[in-house]
Structure 1
Amino acid sequence: MAQQNKQFGNVTSLPGTNSALSGGGFVRSVNDWLMESALQDTDVDEVISGMVSRLVAAGLPIDRVMVGFKTLHPLYEGVSYIWSKPTGQVERSFHLGVRENNPEWVESPMKWMIDNGVTFLRRHLIGPGAILDFPVLKSFRELSGTDYLALVTPFVTDRDSELGENRIFMTYLTSRPSGFTDEDLAILSAIQRRFAVTCKMRIMHDETKTILETYLGSDAGHRVRNGQIKLGDSTKTRAVIWFSDMRNSTAMAAHVGDDAFLEQMNSFFAATAGAVLAHGGQVLRYIGDATLAIFPIRDDEGDLEQACHAAVYAAAEVQMNIENLNRGREEQGLPEFDYGLGMHVGDVVYGNVGVKERVDFTVVGRAANEASRIEKLTKQLGKRVLVSAPVAKYISCPTENIGEYELQGTGTRVTLYAPDFSEACQRLELLRAS
């Protein structure tokens, strides 16, 4: 028992044994632990694992636990966590925004509970009192389930939001022949609200993190969450600076119309900015139909070479993506995408600009301006991609020396090179095939 106490904290005996922790005492111990977890901002899967461990150690006959909730994320609508007795592990799954068309959701107990304003549902799965009115219950009985409990706890993450009320869904399954006892049900119901509060704290943390990273990028979002929010807060960073821009966007917008052009821009960004992210770069901002990004250089010359290597392979992937898109656009009679891309190396100031009431997190500085001017020369020189000498020095693909040019408005002259991505594209094709 001493070893069990060490593993499961202050759970020392079973509910119903007239001990200090029976009944309400046990519930208080679990609820106190849940509040401590909320204060420490513990991950949801760790909370579930710790809570189930305490329940199982106290003798509750739990074989499966599911926790689910909606979340604010650009890629998926909801998250679920499932703990199962055979593995003793919590597995997380993400769910796309297809609930309305998903039979599993439409025919689920949770959907019925929402529609009918019910927060507690219990079903015996065997014996004369069995009710199998949802398809999932039949599946659970086939897995030797005998009793099923579903709890729903509504909550509000932001009272000013128009997204409506959120909910924590929680279900328990047991295979004990006699099912859950009344005391089991009382305990599970009594800890539900504290568990929901703990989850809510983490949901709000994760949603804030998601919003910041979606709108600012991963590194900038991290910096803002860690307090770098005042006007003038900044860090000097050395980086490979990427500036890409869609060509002939005005003509394309006139051809397809304003509403359709937004969709066209998103396809273009998926092909260009998406390649930056795929190769470890950071997209800092979109300027109309242009993308400003960086590949940070941390410490030494080796890291500079690695950053240049990543940037060039991202550029090669852009070329492949645009060519694939244009084949489809040609078949649809749509104008083809074209673009210019300039890359440069230098020190930039990475931080907040604007006014104190409304700041933007970006990079500013001479090197960023020079990368933008290099991109502008791509059209003049008839090249899609131009890189400065510091980038060309560290890339493995062949390059053509275009010559030395003055960058408009900077007073700087740089030697420019046009990379040949044929070999890089072949390597990427092989990687995709494997």
Structure 2
Amino acid sequence: MQLSSTLSWLVDAAHEAAGADRLLAEFGEHLIGDGLPLAGGALTLAVPHPLIARRTWLWRAATGEVIEALGFAPAGPLSALQEGPPNDGGRCWLAGLADGPVHEDRVGLRPDGPSLCWIGPRPFTPDEADELRQAARFAAAPLAVLAGRDTLSAALDAYLGRRSAARVRLAPLRRDVGETIEAALLFADLRGFTVLSETHPPSEVIAALNAWFDRIAGAVHAFGGEVLKFIGDGVLAIFPVIGESPRAACNAALRAASAARMGMAHLDKERAKQGLAPLPFGVALHLGEIFWGNIGAADRLDFTAIGPAVNLASRLEGLCRPLQKTILVSGTLAAQAEMPLLALGTHGLRGIASPCAVFTLPED
């Protein structure tokens, strides 16, 4: 038996596969075309992701269907929820698909390298197992390309956010490359963080910051927004306007702020049980146009948002303490809101020429 079609494809074209799912499916189809009896296959890759340790794609030869299973990282709050493929890659996922035993090859020399598993309608002969091992050796190069792409995508998503990362991947890496968009802005900040950081050990400060960021970022992402920046103990997030009306973006920002407030109330109760002080914070919401793109030095760029709307949101958050409110909303965003808001009058903001009408979400 000769793997001419499979090996030629692995050398010449496999690296152009759109993703791991297509690579696995096309790999299996080429092996079948070269005479190997396959009922299904699995590909497992380690993932440099804050929450996900590995991803496994499962291919069924009869239908061509590919599904994905996730394995969560062993450390952190999701460790008890591990539901993804175990350390033996896709072997257990293929059991029961056919009568034959699963043939597995570890691609490359690294113990955490890609894993390829195949199962047939019957046990593989020694010659067929040798053919699969040979194919796995030739798969090392395209899998390295695929893993490199996935690593870059995962890193950009983790550090920039999904929307911003997509823009960075598509646009030139030059200053001033970006666009003006309309968005609902959320600016949030912890209060008393300087005192906290000076009176507590670094481990406690970091734990408090992470807990705060989990609540505020989790709420933003749950309602379709994106965190652009963690600025010390502050957060800048956007809810881009899609379509002609900004109402959906404004309502999403308000719901996110409300959810964050509830999440922090629960966190403060848990901290009180541990004898820890609460974490007071302020959130400001505003609607306006921003420049969303590359800014920075010639050879060191940042993908961020700037503009008068960002400045106003930041200054508005500064009113949370004197007005004794957790959430403040500008009149511009309030005019688009469906949620009931309470008017707090018109206030001057430091560095902003025109006074701003200010509203708040009811505390209940």
Instruction: State the shift of 1:287 in Å.
Output: 0.6
Q: Deviations over 1:381-404 (max 9, x none)?
A: 111111111111121222221111
- Aligned-pair identity in percent equals 27
- The SS at the match of 2:228 is strand
Structure 1 spans left out of the alignment, 5+ residues: 1-14, 16-22, 111-134, 156-163, 423-434
Query: Is the contact between residue 39 and residue 119 of structure 2 (CA under 8 Å) also seen in structure 1?
Result: yes
Q: Tell me, in whole angstroms, the C-alpha distance in 2 between the residues paired with 1:350 and 1:237.
A: 7
Is the 1:38–1:202 Cα contact (8 Å) retained in structure 2? no
Match of 1:185 among 102, 123, 129: 129
Alignment of 1:115-194 (within 5 A): 140=95, 145-154=99-108, 166-176=112-122, 179-194=123-138
Q: Within 1, Cα distance between the matches of 2:7 and 2:321?
A: 65
- Select between 55-64 and 374-383 the one with higher mean Cα deviation: 55-64
Q: Scaled by the length of structure 1, what TM-score is found? A: 0.76
For 1:349-368, what aligned pairs fall within 5 Å after superposition?
349-368=291-310
- Within 5 Å, which residues of 2 pair with 1:292-371? 292-300=236-244, 302=245, 304-371=246-313
Per-residue CA deviation, residues 23-60 of structure 1 (Å, 9 max, x unaligned), is: 2xxx2322222345434242111111122123234432
**1:190/1:367 Cα in 2 relative to 1: closer, same or farther (>3 Å)?**
same
SS in 1 for 2:114: strand
8 Å contact kept, 1:387–1:417: yes
Does residue 340 of structure 2 align to residue 420 of structure 1? no
Tell me how far apart the structure 2 counterparts of residues 347 and 221 of structure 1 sit (CA, whole Å): 20
Cα deviation, 1:130-164, whole Å, max 9, x if unaligned, reads xxxxx969x95x87644442212226xxxxxxxx7
In structure 1, how many angstroms separate the alpha carbons of the residues matched to 2:21 and 2:322? 55
Unaligned runs of 5+ in 2: none
8 Å CA contact 1:397, 1:420 repeated in 2? no
Distance 1:39 1:150 in 2: 21
1:263 is matched with: 207
The TM-score, its normalising length taken from structure 2, stands at 0.89
Query: 2:357 aligned with 1:411, yes or no?
Result: no
Partners of 2:171 and 2:177 within 8 A in 1: no
Structure-2 residue corresponding to 1:56: 32
Compute the RMSD of aligned alpha carbons.
Answer: 2.7
Q: Secondary structure at the match of 1:408?
A: coil
In our comparison, the structure showing a higher alpha carbon Rg is 1
Alpha-carbon shift at residue 168 of structure 1 (Å): 1.7
SS at match of 1:311: helix
Note the alpha carbon deviations across 1:252-308, whole angstroms, 9 max, x for none: 3344322211111010011112111111111110110000111111341x2x00110
Q: Is the 8 A contact 2:39 2:98 kept in 1?
A: no
Q: Distance in 2 between matches of 1:259 and 1:50?
A: 48
Contact 1:252 1:335 in 2 (8 A): no
In structure 1, what is the Cα distance between the partners aligned to 2:218 and 2:97? 43
Task: Tell me how far 1:74 sits from its aligned partner.
Answer: 0.9
Shift of 1:346: 1.2
Which residue, 48, 53, 76 being the options, matches 2:52?
Answer: 76
1:283 and 2:199 correspond:
no
Q: Please give the secondary structure, in 2, of the residue aligned with 1:167.
A: coil
CA contact (8 A) 2:56 2:70 kept: yes
> What's the offset of the Cα at 1:87?
5.6
CA–CA distance in 2 between the matches of 1:148 and 1:377?
Answer: 64
Q: Counterpart of 1:32? A: 8
- 2:217 equivalent to 1:273: yes
Deviations 1:220-260 (A, max 9, x none): 11111113421222211111111100111123334432221
SS in 1 for 2:345: strand
What is the number of residues matched between the two proteins?
357
1:59–1:45: structure 2 CA closer, same or farther, 3 Å change rule? same
Report the 3-state secondary structure (helix = DSSP H, G, I; strand = E; otherwise coil) of the residue aligned with 2:48. Answer: coil
Contact 2:45 2:54 in 1 (8 A): yes
Equivalent-residue separation in structure 1 for 2:97 and 2:62 (angstroms): 12
